[in-house]
A and B are shown apart, each in its own frame.
Chain A
Amino acid sequence: MTNGMKWILLIAELLTVGSALIVAINPNILYSAVFLLFSFLGIAVMYLFAGADFLAGVQVVVYVGGVTILILFAIMLTQWLYRLKLKDIGSKFVVPGVVLALGLVPFLHRGLTQLGKMVQAAPPEKMAEFAASPKTAMIGKALLTNYVLPFEAVTILLLGALVGAVWLARPKA
């Protein structure tokens, strides 16, 4: 991987983290939703660099094209409560939230550096080869062999979610 590519990945990671930060702390819920979109895009680029090309596509189609639109609709339907100020940080959990978040960071950092060392000590032989290979066919084969049952289960779950969500959102008869 050339240095230019690594720069792109670095920018994508910074975009992801920076947007996520705005999602968490911006008092305006609409801005949070917009920056969540950018965070999703950054994650898609990260997937791409980890050799998950099909997943990057799924990420964009499902999250950017689907979930973001749904969230924006929900915000726009309920916004008049907030009169566009939408200041909604200030629940009683702020202090525990900050404490928990700050407490998690060293814990996670320690865990991940150890994991990283373990993984980096023994990198898989075919890593570069695996990352460069197209994944659509591999995922298709996996969905037809090892993952048939989960796939069908998820399909049925989605059907259930459709029925339930539509029932919940239905306007009064």
Chain B
Amino acid sequence: METGYISAFWFIVVAAITVPLMLGVGALLRPKSIPTRRGTQAYECGEDPIGSAWVKFNIRFYVVAIIFIIFDVEVAAVLPVATQFKEAVLSGSAGFVFAEIFLFVALLVLGLIYCWVRGDLEWVKGVTQNAPRK
């Protein structure tokens, strides 16, 4: 296995240890805290919190995540093909690789156009910009 990953391992370990280390130093140095009711309240601009903190949110976030994961996967799949392109160009047989990359781009564009036309990329649906108020 490549030795570069040993470095990666140590980086991850050192970075992960940094967090408890810094918090631990703080725990040793700081004065003892006396929690008060106001102090431990969830911050809501100084008012008493209203209702649960775990609010329902816009399903748009979810649609965006779905579009993202499909695009992400396609990019990950095309990377190894992309590494072969230069070699193919220099050896004069780039047509096939180019066709594959073109197909990849075409399919992504197709998916994007579908989402665009059906309005999935609009954050606020049904509200046109500068719509006159009634």
Chain A residues within 8 Å of B, Cβ to Cβ: 1, 5, 8, 48-49, 51, 53-54, 57-58, 61-62, 65-67, 69-70, 73-74, 76-77, 79-80, 84, 131-132, 134, 136-137, 139-141, 143-144, 148, 151-152, 154-156, 158-159, 161-163, 165-167, 169-171, 173
How many interface residues does B have (CB within 8 Å)?
Answer: 44
Residue contact A166 to B77, C-beta cutoff 8 Å = no
Residue contact A158 to B84, C-beta cutoff 8 Å = no
B30 on interface, CB distance cutoff 8 Å: no
Contacting residues, chain B, for A76 (C-beta < 8 A): 54, 57
Chain B residues within 8 Å of A, Cβ to Cβ: 1-2, 5-6, 9, 52, 54, 56-57, 59-63, 65-70, 72-74, 76-77, 79-84, 96-97, 100, 103-104, 107, 110-111, 114-115, 118, 120, 125
Which of B2, B62, B96 neighbours the largest number of chain A CB atoms within 10 Å of its CB?
A: B62
Compute how far the CA of A155 lies from the CA of B109 in the bound complex, rounded to whole angstroms. Answer: 12
User: Given A66-B68, A140-B81: A77 and B59 within 8 A (CB)?
Assistant: yes
Contacting residues, chain B, for A134 (C-beta < 8 A): 2
If over half of B's interface residues share one DSSP class (helix, strand or loop), that class is named, otherwise mixed; here it is helix
Smallest CB gap from A140: residue in B = B80
If over half of A's interface residues share one DSSP class (helix, strand or loop), that class is named, otherwise mixed; here it is helix
Compute how far the CA of A53 lies from the CA of B56 in the bound complex, rounded to whole angstroms. Answer: 40
- Across the interface, A49 reaches (CB within 8 A) one of B1, B67, B68, B84, namely B1
Compute how far the CA of A159 lies from the CA of B72 in the bound complex, rounded to whole angstroms. Answer: 12
Residue contact B120 to A166, C-beta cutoff 8 Å = yes
Residue contact B107 to A155, C-beta cutoff 8 Å = yes
- Across the interface, A132 reaches (CB within 8 A) one of B2, B70, B81, namely B2
Contacting residues, chain A, for B65 (C-beta < 8 A): 69-70, 73
- Across the interface, B62 reaches (CB within 8 A) one of A53, A57, A77, A139, namely A77
Compute how far the CA of A81 lies from the CA of B46 in the bound complex, rounded to whole angstroms. Answer: 29
